[in-house]
Chains A and B, each alone.
Chain A
């Protein structure tokens, strides 16, 4: 596993192309081989949420998910990216069906002997509450599709930030064969606001950003073995790591399938004396021999 520390060279810093600042479409273009991107169900297809306009919300023509076929070093690939600028990257019926449907088709490709590399660029708060149960159902279908596809090929996930990856989609990230994060990324099941609402402000102050990143930020997730690669916010670095991930991921089962390993890590925890984020890094150090 690799941890790439940000280099201090200012020229390198200036040459960086921030991946975080890119929209979903630009991210997909940055990941795929130059000139290979072909968008599926793009904005001109005008497949929008049927539910938002009924509630007085303007529906965007791609429902906040960009799907594209293209290549990664010449091999066919499918990239799905969630647009965080639209409805917080929330999963509605259409946006969810786009991701699930594309993964289902990728699975069919493999069943017919045609390789295709699947990449998911997460940036989502989870279910879009205006579509509630249809969003939740779509997320279950995304899970189903990832598990089915993973029998054929590693599924690579990226959480760049700044929204992060929450709710049911955090389970999708955990199901990926390999998960790439940046320091700006957050990966958690329950958003800080929801925890504060459900468990009280003494449990978690949703305004305390430093605390939140210390618990669920990309660096912490990598240091405790809940993510694979911690990268700087640079499009070229991330694109290269995705290509590399398909080579490395093939050897290990996905995290969510490693039941004994993680159940054992959890047994080391005493809830009466829970570790702080720093001591959890020692306790769960992914580099330590098992």
Chain B
């Protein structure tokens, strides 16, 4: 069972803070917040998944990415793609505070995998269409929920806060699946950065564009909000100057060290691709 006492408000706090002065986009879904709001000298689309105690799907009431949420994300990302098809591509900012995808037999039957795929597909398509897509991690970025909402971003930035976490599976479930204990899992995480949950360990993997330190994540001051805005603007500029793919996750100095195998696999594959090196390795 989930051990969280009450759903996180981080996503809502940062959505409200960053979208202030903008126009809310009606999603028909209290759990999916979308707004077009000023950022730097232009307008960006801010998107967040937030808790909704009255969600029609009970397993998606605590800020999980459920069936409705996945499809709503896909719709509002794709709406930006089609609106901007003939002109300037607005940045898309995914504000990430998602504890998990919705777990339930109803969800499986009704294709939660497809709903989450649709969201990821939409973000990836936006990125390829030239929209800078930035993920801002303000709380949990867990597993399939993060794949659906944020992991297709050109750049990932995060607040340096103990509640900001990235992982493939909640601790209890991960312990059960790997037939170990939560305590042992936490010990392993201290040893190996890829297994850890905290954002500082994640920052060592080379996947993160920027870790923003010293922000009051639960009650941001005006200065905090302006610092995060500046980080977003700078990540957007960096994105526009680079390729629309995810190669920046392989080229940072941290990536070259921790993800050396990811780089090496691609190098060797390219060598063998045309068959010239057949039998020489």
Residues of A within 8 A of B (CB): 38, 40-41, 44-45, 47, 49-51, 54-55, 67, 69, 93-94, 96-98, 101-102, 104-105, 126-127, 129-141, 143-144, 147-148, 151, 167-168, 170-175, 187-191, 193-195, 197-200, 203-204, 215-216, 220, 224, 226, 254-257, 259-260, 262-263, 266, 269, 271-272, 274-275, 277, 280
Are B116 and A198 touching (Cβ within 8 A)?
no
Q: Which B99-151 residues sit within 8 Å CB-CB of chain A?
A: 100-101, 103-118, 120-122, 124-125, 127-128, 143-144, 146-148, 151
With beta carbons under 8 angstroms apart, the residue of A129, A171, A187, A280 that contacts B169 is A129
Are A47 and B207 touching (Cβ within 8 A)?
no
Q: Provide 15 A-B residue pairs closer than 8 Å at the C-beta atoms, listed in order of the A residue.
A: A40-B269, A41-B265, A41-B268, A93-B194, A93-B262, A126-B168, A129-B169, A133-B167, A136-B168, A148-B124, A188-B108, A193-B177, A215-B109, A262-B115, A271-B57
With beta carbons under 8 angstroms apart, the residue of B114, B128, B177 that contacts A262 is B114
- Given the interface pairs A101-B269, A135-B168, A140-B152, the reply to whether A204 lies near B105 with Cβ below 8 Å is yes
Check: B42 CB closer than 8 A to any chain A CB: no
CA distance A126 to B57 in the complex (A): 25
Query: How many A-B Cβ pairs are below 8 Å?
Result: 265
CA distance A226 to B67 in the complex (A): 14
Check: B59 CB closer than 8 A to any chain A CB: yes
Q: Which B72-101 residues sit within 8 Å CB-CB of chain A?
A: 72, 74-75, 78, 100-101
With beta carbons under 8 angstroms apart, the residue of A102, A144, A220, A254 that contacts B245 is A144
B191: chain A residues within 8 A (beta carbon): 54
Are A133 and B195 touching (Cβ within 8 A)?
yes
Are A93 and B261 touching (Cβ within 8 A)?
yes
Q: Which of B45-53, B216-224, B272-280 contacts A (4 or more CB under 8 A)?
A: B272-280
A259: chain B residues within 8 A (beta carbon): 71, 74-75, 78, 118, 122
A127: chain B residues within 8 A (beta carbon): 143, 168-169
CA distance A275 to B111 in the complex (A): 13
Are B125 and A167 touching (Cβ within 8 A)?
no
Are A129 and B174 touching (Cβ within 8 A)?
yes
B205: chain A residues within 8 A (beta carbon): 133-134, 137
CA distance A267 to B166 in the complex (A): 31
Check: B183 CB closer than 8 A to any chain A CB: no
Are B109 and A216 touching (Cβ within 8 A)?
yes
A139: chain B residues within 8 A (beta carbon): 147
Are A105 and B269 touching (Cβ within 8 A)?
yes
CA distance A139 to B144 in the complex (A): 10
B128: chain A residues within 8 A (beta carbon): 147-148, 151
Check: B211 CB closer than 8 A to any chain A CB: no
Q: Which has the most chain B C-beta neighbours within 10 Å: A40, A67, A96?
A: A40
- Given the interface pairs A104-B266, A133-B166, A133-B205, the reply to whether A198 lies near B103 with Cβ below 8 Å is yes
Check: B259 CB closer than 8 A to any chain A CB: yes
Check: B173 CB closer than 8 A to any chain A CB: yes
- Given the interface pairs A133-B205, A137-B205, the reply to whether A197 lies near B109 with Cβ below 8 Å is no
B268: chain A residues within 8 A (beta carbon): 41, 45, 47
